[in-house]
Structure 1
């Protein structure tokens, strides 16, 4: 079952009502393809197929308050996102929901991508061509059978050595994750956030002053997101069944 299946409509509706965050991960124990383990290559294409299915089923259009995080920097999806935008609304493409080119671009840009086993620049560059920089968050892929402490350390080194990320951005990736799950933050961070979130009277309330650097841009984005949210978010992990 792919996530655009109509039987999952009540699930997406409820997650949207809760303004939830859904983490989508490919099936790590799927049957090998081409004689190779699924996590090596086919998992990346499964992620792309899943999102394309949601896109043409109209899931993103119907549920604008749903936030979706994709594992592994979106797998193969970022590399094919330009093709989807250019060709995805042409007459020869079955398109029962009449999804437009603009919607394809906008819906893909709404996604969040984690960096689990995807810290190499070859993965980060297409990811950042598809989504805004603040939609790239840290992911470790911990618990997956194909992941070890060594592979996690290698991935972190790749992020820190990246030529695609700007200075200091590797350290921001984890903080962006906390922005999505404010009620799951460690107690000390929650306390600091409560202290920093105390607002002056409405007449004098203004966004923090920012410069032009990426860190300043992140601060402003975090400020505006925190103002837009109420009641925190809940999280769900969605794995496509075979």
Structure 2
């Protein structure tokens, strides 16, 4: 499952989820911090309008860079040419995101979506 926009608020709320794993008043049969961490790492996250350090910082705190794929929101009203260019620049050009993210993002989509790559004649 790919979560859009760097997972939205989920990476920022991850600490709260982990804290609640230990709360007696929260029903959590079989759920502990490690299972929540594994769950967060298991999702894939796209970069649509989220290539900034403010979005990538929390995201890289909950998942590995091999679970981050490029996303653009191309075709959505919010994804004007300027917004797409800014996202690409933020993600690949400013150095504001952790250095391991840009090279990883470039190839992850092909690995996660091999049939799309094949349809494009590149797989």
**Equivalent residue of 1:113, what SS?**
strand
Task: Name structure 1 gaps, 5 residues minimum.
Answer: 1-67, 191-242
What is the alpha-carbon distance in structure 2 between the residues aligned to residue 174 and residue 89 of structure 1?
A: 38
Q: Look at both structures and tell me which one has the larger radius of gyration over its CA atoms.
A: 1
- Runs of 4+, deviation exceeding 6 Å: none
1:170 aligns with 2:123: no
Tell me the CA shift for residue 171 of structure 1. 4.5
Matches within 5 A, 1:63-78: 68-78=1-11
**Equivalent residue of 1:79, what SS?**
helix
> 65, 78, 81: which one pairs with 1:146?
78
Tell me the TM-score normalized by structure 1. 0.46
Tell me the CA shift for residue 83 of structure 1. 1.6
Query: Number of aligned pairs?
Result: 120
What is the alpha-carbon distance in structure 2 between the residues aligned to residue 162 and residue 78 of structure 1?
A: 21
Tell me the CA shift for residue 145 of structure 1. 2.2
**Equivalent residue of 2:98, what SS?**
coil
Tell me the CA shift for residue 178 of structure 1. 0.8
CA deviation vs aligned residue, 1:103-148 (integer Å, no higher than 9, x gap): 1111111111110000110000000000011111110011222221
What is the alpha-carbon distance in structure 1 between the residues aligned to residue 25 and residue 79 of structure 2?
A: 41
Tell me the TM-score normalized by structure 2. 0.87
**Equivalent residue of 1:126, what SS?**
helix
* Other-structure match for 1:31: none
Question: Could you tell me whether the CA contact under 8 Å between 2:68 and 2:104 is conserved in 1?
Answer: no
Q: What's the Cα RMSD here? A: 1.7
What is the alpha-carbon distance in structure 1 between the residues aligned to residue 63 and residue 103 of structure 2?
A: 19
